[in-house]
Amino acid sequence: MKINKLFAGALILAASFQVNAQDMHQTRTAKIQFFSKTPVENIDAVNKEATSFINTKTGDIVFAALVKSFRFEKALMEEHFNENYMESTKFPKADFKGKISNLAEVDFSKDGTYKAKVTGSLTMHGVTQPATADGIITVKGGKISANSKFKVKLSDYRIERPAVVADKIAETVEITVDAAYEPKK
């Protein structure tokens, strides 16, 4: 049910683009991974249920993910992530709304691999911040995929690292995003 609500919210965002269906591509299985590396411990989590839309005409791009859909190697890490750090009951989703700023350099009608620069806003833990990332858009056989890797400073989103565990959680985490799109029907 929560996934349907998230997808419905993303659909509303996508509808606001006011575009032809042929320009819109979507996925409900985008993968968002975060990685925290410290000398004491590495923390790795993945969410394979993110929703994303990309408009090939305007360059608009949206990602939305339920925070509770991140999976960890250890159940206790997942519990602490949701309850103590992300407060996922209070802040159930994270999203990115942005635009491919170098859209003229990406040819969605031709197979190839294209460097993309994306700018927009990332909302997480109830805080919205400007965000910029480099990525790769691949077009192959009419299918579009996108991936990016960027860093997020936890304090920018008011995510606290208590002193007792500060050596186990990096101040800045690496976020990796992978999405394989289908034409919107």
pTM of the model: 0.85
Residue spans per domain, the chain = 2-16+26-97+120-129+148-183
Res 181: pLDDT: 97
User: Residue 3 — pLDDT band, cuts 50, 70, 90?
Assistant: low
| Annotation: CATH topology of 2-16+26-97+120-129+148-183 | Lipocalin (2.40.128)
User: Residue 185 — pLDDT band, cuts 50, 70, 90?
Assistant: confident
Distance CA 173, CA 153 (A): 6
Res 20: pLDDT: 59
Distance CA 169, CA 131 (A): 22
Distance CA 143, CA 49 (A): 19
What does pLDDT average to over the chain? Answer: 89
Distance CA 95, CA 58 (A): 19
Secondary structure of residue 18 in the 3-state scheme: coil
User: What's the sign of the alpha-carbon dihedral 148, 151, 156, 162?
Assistant: positive
Q: Say which DSSP state 133 is in.
A: E
- Tens digit of each residue's pLDDT (9 = 90 or more) over 17-27: 444 567 999 99
Distance CA 119, CA 122 (A): 10
